[in-house]
Structure 1
């Protein structure tokens, strides 16, 4: 039997071993477990057929991309507050992965339609949110904050949470995020944090393999930006931490200015960035 390996992961592991590892990691993310395993089940069922294709075949590349998104974007260990902030976007990413698998199945099955997974996804999302709601409501303010490594990272998670509040269509989810946002801000005494619409969390970026192109003040890298269930290829300029003299406020003001000018045909389109991260970064087309 042909073995399908993933060269873009360290050690060039077999895909079957990676999928087994993803299954085990889902256990530590109970609010995403069923949603994630629905994709894993389909990947395992298609593995042997996909393995017959050449390494550079579009179908095989798409199959491996799905696995990489699960590894790098979905099942990474995260604090509970981050999991609340990213739950809706993670569920949308998983829905998009099902759509990608439909494309793979259409090729393998000579034009047949993909699985009917939509109703199950909706049901699982509702059930999984109830698990998340219980975890968050039973967590103390101290636990939610102390589980995150630093005061600066708490600010970043709250900025992500604040942005998600503007895009989540589910009222119960919004209520939980709002209540949690308010109590964490009060506990951590974060009255002066700015919450710009252009903020893009590092959790929503997946960098492509390889190093970037270095300039005087930073490095430019290709990445995939996940937003509102969509995926956009972008360029990310990360400022050098040891050479940049810009403060968080300097970068904030630069992002504010760039956003105002981004509608111009003569200026590179600005998607957003982060003034509070280390390194700070800008995301553009």
Structure 2
């Protein structure tokens, strides 16, 4: 995609902003149209990216401001920590815009901690969350 953009810009002699490192084309993502959960800012879908990597795709609602979309994505994409959910990338030019991150093994923290069998892990998980900040 980046090579194609470079060639088009070169031939047409148009100054084109580069594609962000975190950009993922909508063509590279395949996700279930039915979300597994919805929130104020968007819906979460299970999907596959690239060579079949299992991911979660967050599609953003119209109310989610595009002005506030790019800076946090650029910051999150550069984070690499075992206690922080990995962001693979995003697409800010699709409709709807979306974010692609790793599929959390145990779901969200609230659901994990409310299971009685997981209560013994609370302090260990709180420490991991603090280490990720």
Tell me the TM-score range normalised by the shorter chain.
0.5 to 0.7
Name the SS for the 1:210 alignment partner: coil
Equivalent residue, structure 1, for 2:93 = 276
User: After superposition, where does 1:114-153 map in structure 2 within 5 Å?
Assistant: none
1:271 Cα deviation after fit: 0.6
Structure 2 residues not aligned, in runs of 5+: 103-133
Q: Which has the larger Rg?
A: 1
Structure 1 residues not aligned, in runs of 5+: 1-160, 166-176
1:206 Cα deviation after fit: 0.8
Q: How many residues align?
A: 102
Equivalent residue, structure 2, for 1:222 = 46
RMSD over aligned CA atoms reads 2.3
Equivalent residue, structure 2, for 1:253 = 71
Structure 1 or 2: more strand by fraction: 2
CA distance in 1, matches of 2:10, 2:55: 32
Q: Does 2:64 correspond to 1:244?
A: yes
User: After superposition, where does 1:153-168 map in structure 2 within 5 Å?
Assistant: 161-162=1-2, 165=3
User: After superposition, where does 1:72-111 map in structure 2 within 5 Å?
Assistant: none
Q: TM-score, normalised by structure 2?
A: 0.65
Q: Which has the higher contact order (CA 8 A, sep 6+)?
A: 2
Moved over 3 A (4+): 183-189
CA distance in 2, matches of 1:244, 1:185: 34
1:183 Cα deviation after fit: 3.2
Q: TM-score, normalised by structure 1?
A: 0.33
Q: 2:20 aligns with which of 189, 196, 200?
A: 196
Equivalent residue, structure 1, for 2:7 = 182
